[in-house]
Amino acid sequence: MKPILAELLTIGDEILYGQIVDTNSQWMSVELDKVGIKVIRKTSVGDVESEILSAFAEAEQRADIILITGGLGPTSDDLTKPLLAKYFNCELKLHEEALQELSAYFKSRGRELSETNKQQAFLPVCCTKITNPVGTAPGMWFERNGKIFMSMPGVPHEMKKMMTERVIPKLKEKFKTPTIVHKVIRTVGIGESFLADKITAWEKSLPTHIKLAYLPSLGEVKLRLTGFGDDEQKLKAEVEGLTAKIQPLAGEYIYGYGDEPLEAAIGKLLREKKLTISMAESCTGGYLSHLITSVPGSSEYFLGSMVPYDYQIKMRQLGVRPEVLEQYGAVSEPTIIEMANIVRAKFNTDIGVATSGIAGPGGATPEKPVGLVWIAYSDKHHTVTRKLQLSTERLVNIKAASIAVLNLIRTSLPK
């Protein structure tokens, strides 16, 4: 089957000058990949007529689908709409339905529709209007010689809603996209190359219509299986079967599947087991609590935490014994054990965890270099500690230590 090719075109000086990072095109790539549309190029041009028109023409040569974002505002430096009208050789005209939608949008927010804003309801007569339910600039769908030009707003949540609800379904209909099944297997606590070594034989056994990608990030590696075929049910069963076969090889590192991040997976485990948790965070400085509380509904299992940054606070507020701190120092196994046990008792939770380390750049000694971190997990059955040697970067250490604690919770919870 001939692949369906797409080009992503971003219009606007703010991307060329580096005022914003283009995160839209990454999101679009992932969504298009999911439905079997292959992105062959990404192009960004500024608010310059000749640049935009030549980008249209070049993209039309290369791709079946040209997805355009940006340049749809109501001011004079927004050129996408007039230039699409010019490129497709048709006039701009007031679109009655677009005007009604625009008026309703402003009315619902208690704002007046100005003459400038009214410009948003003028559309090229040769395009199909795509409603923008969460913004003021409608999308525009053009077809010519079997090729599609689709123009969308650059505001991320407006573009995403339009893509998900309208554009992707229309493209699937128009191009009869292949059947594609994805499965993401999420692992933590093992590096990419070690994981690859463990699953070499399995990877080699994959049939040619099922591809594997390694997606590493700080402390985690995601594996993405992508199956191509005709029969969706059969393909799903095949991908599930292959996923099951990875369990005996690397199951201990797998914490979940799909889009669910580690902190949400930990939350689900705690909720299922009806366990509560508290934290004493020194070197992670609140980031671990932030990860846990970034999950909606986390107040069901997370009762609270303390960040005893200062030596005095470690003793007086948390209650670490001065003789332990003095003998072993704040960054040590005896201290981290006390911290985890004490926070669990004080906050009256089933589990207590703790972190203490040298995040850097200051604070190191010959015996305790930057990147040295102790973490601990405590419940009524056992206390588990880990010594980590991380990096020289403060923020990397804070984040990597927090992920290591989440993994320690996962592997230490009562079965």
Choice from 213, 218, 244, 345 touching a copy of itself (CB under 8 A):
213
**Interaction of residue 394 with a copy of itself, rule CB under 8 A:** yes
**Interaction of residue 22 with a copy of itself, rule CB under 8 A:** yes
Residues facing 140 on adjacent strands: 129, 151
Q: Are strands 220-229 and 65-69 parallel, antiparallel or unpaired?
A: unpaired
**Interaction of residue 117 with a copy of itself, rule CB under 8 A:** no
33 vs 333, beta carbon nearer a copy of itself: 33
**Interaction of residue 329 with a copy of itself, rule CB under 8 A:** no
Q: How far apart are CA 370 and CA 360, in angstroms?
A: 5
Site residue total, a copy of itself (CB under 8 A): 70
First to last CA, the chain: 48
Nearest approach in angstroms of CB 95 to a copy of itself is: 27
With the C-alpha atoms ordered 107, 113, 117, 122, is the resulting torsion angle positive or negative?
A: positive
Torsion of CA 345, 348, 353, 354, to 10 degrees: -60
Tokens of 44: 């960004």
79 vs 279, beta carbon nearer a copy of itself: 279
Residue 252 carries which DSSP code? Answer: G
Element (H, E) at 182: strand 179-188
Nearest approach in angstroms of CB 314 to a copy of itself is: 8
288 vs 413, beta carbon nearer a copy of itself: 288
Element (H, E) at 351: strand 351-357
**Interaction of residue 182 with a copy of itself, rule CB under 8 A:** no
Q: Are strands 351-357 and 277-281 parallel, antiparallel or unpaired?
A: parallel
Nearest approach in angstroms of CB 25 to a copy of itself is: 8
Residues facing 376 on adjacent strands: 354, 385
- 103 in Cβ contact with 94 (< 8 Å): no
**Interaction of residue 47 with a copy of itself, rule CB under 8 A:** no
- 29-37, 71-79, 227-235, 263-271 -> range binding a copy of itself (CB under 8 A): 29-37
Choice from 146, 241, 248, 362 touching a copy of itself (CB under 8 A):
362
Binding letters toward a copy of itself, positions 215-234, x by CB under 8 A: x-------------------
**Interaction of residue 45 with a copy of itself, rule CB under 8 A:** yes
Nearest approach in angstroms of CB 290 to a copy of itself is: 4
Nearest approach in angstroms of CB 347 to a copy of itself is: 6
Choice from 3, 76, 395, 414 touching a copy of itself (CB under 8 A):
395
Q: How far apart are CA 312 and CA 375, in angstroms?
A: 20
Tokens of 75: 């001011």
130 vs 313, beta carbon nearer a copy of itself: 313
Secondary structure class of 363 (helix, strand, coil): coil
**Interaction of residue 21 with a copy of itself, rule CB under 8 A:** yes
Torsion of CA 397, 398, 401, 403, to 10 degrees: -120
Q: How far apart are CA 129 and CA 103, in angstroms?
A: 16
Q: How far apart are CA 16 and CA 47, in angstroms?
A: 10
Nearest approach in angstroms of CB 34 to a copy of itself is: 10
**Interaction of residue 135 with a copy of itself, rule CB under 8 A:** no
- 347 in Cβ contact with 303 (< 8 Å): yes
**Interaction of residue 368 with a copy of itself, rule CB under 8 A:** no
Q: How many CB atoms lie under 10 A from the CB of residue 152? A: 29
**Interaction of residue 392 with a copy of itself, rule CB under 8 A:** no
The tokens 């040209």 sit on which residue?
66
**Interaction of residue 74 with a copy of itself, rule CB under 8 A:** no
Secondary structure class of 98 (helix, strand, coil): helix
List binders of a copy of itself among 279-318 (CB under 8 A).
279, 281, 285-290, 292-294, 296-299, 302-310, 312-313, 316-317
Nearest approach in angstroms of CB 15 to a copy of itself is: 7
**Interaction of residue 184 with a copy of itself, rule CB under 8 A:** no
Binding positions for a copy of itself, rule: CB under 8 A: 10, 15-23, 25-30, 33, 39-46, 48, 51, 58, 213, 215, 278-279, 281, 285-290, 292-294, 296-299, 302-310, 312-313, 316-317, 346-348, 359-363, 394-395, 398
